[in-house]
Structure 1
Amino acid sequence: MTEQDGWERKFDHRWANSAEHKEPSARARMLAARWKENPPGPVPFRADPGPVPRRSSWASTAVVLGCVIVVMVLIGIVELGSSR
């Protein structure tokens, strides 16, 4: 089998997309069968999320700076202990 034969046998997406009948996917068939017997209830397109509590940007900044200071102190303690 030459390389050109393999090229000709490759799946042609243009040919597949131009098909008149397109079979639904297995998941679509499964859901259609399930919903025939037990249809789903109405669901809003996008549920309205509840109010999100706002965090202060100062609180986040304080937490980050606090962590940086703690790491710097720990590094200083380790360096002090290793220099003795």
Structure 2
Amino acid sequence: MSERDDEEREFDLTWADGAEHKEPSARARMLAARWKDNPPGPVPFRADPEYRGSSGRSSWVSTAVVLGCVAAVIVLLGYVNSRGSF
């Protein structure tokens, strides 16, 4: 086979992109068939405020808990190091 034959057989992406009809993917066909009889309900972009937190605490409470735990670990490590130096 010559090099010219290989060039002719090479798939031309510009030709494929210019096609008038493009077949949907298998997932798109599956969802279209499923939604034909049972369309999905509307889904909000953001979660409702009542579902954001499990207990409704604000973010500063979580921050205070994390900082308190970090402070406790630092104090504990300092205590362990001071006991071990004697």
Question: Who is 1:55 aligned against?
Answer: 58
* 2:20 aligned partner: 20
1:46-75 Cα distance to aligned partner (Å, 9 max, x none): 277253535162x23421331121111121
Gaps of 5+ in 2: none
RMSD value, Cα: 3.4
**Aligned pair 1:40/2:38, yes or no?**
yes
Aligned residues: 77
RCO greater where, 1 or 2, for CA within 8 Å and sep 6 or more? 2
TM-score scaled by length of structure 1: 0.57
What TM-score comes out, normalization by structure 2 length?
0.56
State the partner residue of 2:77: 75
Query: Runs (4+) of structure 1 moved beyond 4 Å?
Result: none
